[in-house]
Amino acid sequence: MQLIHWIQALAGFAFAFLLGTFVEYAAHRLMHARKSLGGRHVTHHQDGSGQGWWGEFVDYVIPTSPISIISLTIGYFAGFIAVGIGVAVGQILYAMLAAYAHQIQHERPELVFWLRRPVHHLHHEHKMWKNNFGITVDFWDRIFGTYKVVEWNPEKRPFEHSLLSFLRIKWF
């Protein structure tokens, strides 16, 4: 594989990842506006738990799969298959990460090491209906003015826990 193909694949991967974070934010915000899955989302807030990694993964990967299929098809016919492959791989890996981020914020928010505050956990904990819609990242909340700073002082920082702690979530 030539360097240009690696660059194209990386660009497709980065695009899919960034798009995934935006779709996650926008979809969550639409749920709170009751424009999409309103009733199911209310139940989620009442239960206050995730479905397990697999259930979350399926909920992320199925609706975004058409993006991968379209990217691969266009990439194939336009001669940029590496971009399509990058998008498909990025979309699947993003769905895996988003499922993990959602599940861990419900079960073990003190382990969310990639965010200063586990915004999704705080979104639920403080019954926020107009703030902190991000799950995997918080920068869309910051960009669109929906980020709300809430005190977060866990007893231990993420890497003061054992590495196995990061795997102790409901997987199925």
Whether the pLDDT of residue 1 is over 90: the answer is: no
Backbone φ/ψ region at 132: left (φ over 0), alpha (ψ -120 to 50), beta? left
Tell me the pLDDT tens digit for each residue of 29-58: 999 987 766 667 777 877 878 899 999 999
User: Which pLDDT score is estimated for 46?
Assistant: 79
* Residues spanned by the domain of 51: 3-167
Evaluate whether residue 80 is within a structural domain: yes
Per the domain annotation, does 94 fall within a domain? Answer: yes
pTM: 0.93
Q: Identify whether the C-beta of residue 41 lies closer than 8 Å to the C-beta of residue 158.
A: no
Judge contact between 10 and 107, C-beta under 8 A: no
Task: Examine the pLDDT at 105 and tell me if it is beyond 90.
Answer: yes
- Whether 96 maps to a domain, the answer reads yes
Q: Alpha helices of the chain — where are they, by DSSP H?
A: 3-32, 38-47, 53-78, 81-107, 119-125, 139-143
The count of structural domains within the chain is 1
| pLDDT, tens digit (0-9, with 9 covering 90-100), for 129-148 | 999 999 999 999 999 999 99
143 lies in some domain:
yes
Question: Could you tell me if residue 52 is inside a domain?
Answer: yes
172 lies in some domain: no
pLDDT of residue 41: 76
